[in-house]
């Protein structure tokens, strides 16, 4: 009986190797690291402060020991949370990148201008600003209707802000194309009918607030945005866009 057992044991070792269970345990995956304890919450810190005040007022050795070791545990949890947060990448690397790329589709700039100006008709009337329209064409081009609509709205808002408090304010909305037919332009001209809102002379560039979105929209469409003074309280906002996507830089 003993010899048969030894033979079977040797045969098993030749076929499977000695101590297969022990060999597998050496190649087992390491245990997953333990997650750090969450940082103490405000309620726990308030309780700790109250208990510290009570126990330290008694000034017993037991109270001092309890507050000391409790405070050490809270500090360790703060340190663990800090170390876990320090391993995160910088904010600029994990935040999604801002997407200003326009979603091009056929549109008519005249329709966007009409929509945005109609949405501000009450404000035009409240400020007593007559609106003169000179539309030469529909301004058809490929573009992002949302971006360009916001840009036109910001241009109108900036113009109304410039006309605020004018003696005889007036505004003109003009739309057309260049002679080559390669660009569409939208011009908003305003005049306060009084002294100039700034000391800038005629043709000098103006820095008007609230036009950052319009400037980005013009740049993303391969166009440009200009704001210049016309002197005597007048100004001009000019948005120029390429009519064909092939003409964009």
Smallest Cα–Cα separation from 190: which of 166, 224, 209? 166
Per the listing, tokens 């058809």 go with: 140
| Portions of the chain given CATH number 3.30.565.10 | 107-247
Q: Name the 3-class secondary structure at 197.
A: coil
Q: Which residue has the higher pLDDT, 38 or 63?
A: 63
Give the integer Cα–Cα distance in Å for 21 and 136.
87
Note the pLDDT of residue 101: 79
Which DSSP state fits 104?
-
Q: What is the mean pLDDT of residues 216-227?
A: 93
Note the pLDDT of residue 64: 72
Topology of the domain covering 107-247: Heat Shock Protein 90 (3.30.565)
Contact 218, 239 (CB under 8 A): yes
Note the pLDDT of residue 244: 79
Whole-number mean pLDDT of the chain? 76
Smallest Cα–Cα separation from 158: which of 202, 81, 212, 104? 212
Confidence of residue 55 (pLDDT cuts 50, 70, 90): low
Residue 186 backbone phi and psi in degrees, to 5: -125, 120
pLDDT at 202 over 90: no
Q: What is the mean pLDDT of residues 155-169?
A: 89
pLDDT at 28 over 70: no
Q: What is the mean pLDDT of residues 209-227?
A: 91
Q: Which residue has the higher pLDDT, 13 or 72?
A: 72
Per the listing, tokens 């573009």 go with: 143
Note the pLDDT of residue 5: 63
pTM: 0.58
pLDDT at 76 over 80: no
Q: What is the mean pLDDT of residues 13-20?
A: 55
Q: Which residue has the higher pLDDT, 123 or 202?
A: 123
Q: What is the mean pLDDT of residues 161-176?
A: 89
Residue pLDDT, tens place only, 235-245: 999 999 998 75
Confidence of residue 200 (pLDDT cuts 50, 70, 90): low
Tell me the torsion sign for CA atoms 159, 160, 162, 163. Answer: positive
Highest mean pLDDT: which of 40-54, 68-82, 185-199, 212-226?
212-226
Q: Which residue has the higher pLDDT, 230 or 22?
A: 230
Give the integer Cα–Cα distance in Å for 34 and 23.
26
């Amino acid at each position: 009986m003993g010899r048969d057992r030894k033979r079977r044991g040797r045969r098993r070792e030749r076929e499977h190797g000695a101590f297969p269970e022990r060999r597998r345990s050496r190649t087992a995956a390491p245990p997953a690291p333990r997650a750090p304890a969450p940082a103490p919450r405000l309620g726990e810190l308030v309780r700790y402060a109250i208990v510290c005040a009570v126990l330290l007022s008694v000034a017993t050795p037991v109270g001092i020991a309890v507050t000391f070791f409790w405070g050490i545990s809270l500090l360790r949890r703060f340190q663990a949370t800090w170390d876990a947060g320090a391993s995160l990448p910088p904010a600029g690397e994990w935040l999604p990148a801002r997407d200003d790329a326009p979603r091009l589709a056929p549109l008519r700039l005249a329709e966007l201008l009409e929509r945005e100006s109609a949405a501000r008709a009450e404000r035009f009337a409240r400020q007593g600003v007559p609106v003169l329209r000179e539309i030469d064409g529909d301004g058809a081009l490929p573009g992002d209707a949302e971006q360009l609509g916001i840009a036109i709205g910001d241009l109108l808002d900036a113009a109304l802000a410039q006309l605020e408090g004018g003696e005889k304010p007036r505004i003109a909305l003009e739309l057309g194309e260049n002679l080559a037919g390669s660009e569409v332009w939208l011009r908003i001209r305003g005049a306060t009918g009084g002294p100039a809102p700034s000391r800038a002379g005629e043709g000098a560039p103006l820095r008007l607030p609230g036009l950052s979105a319009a400037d980005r929209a013009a740049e993303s469409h391969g166009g440009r945005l200009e704001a210049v003074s016309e002197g005597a309280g007048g100004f001009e906002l000019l948005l120029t866009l390429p009519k064909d996507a092939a003409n964009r830089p």
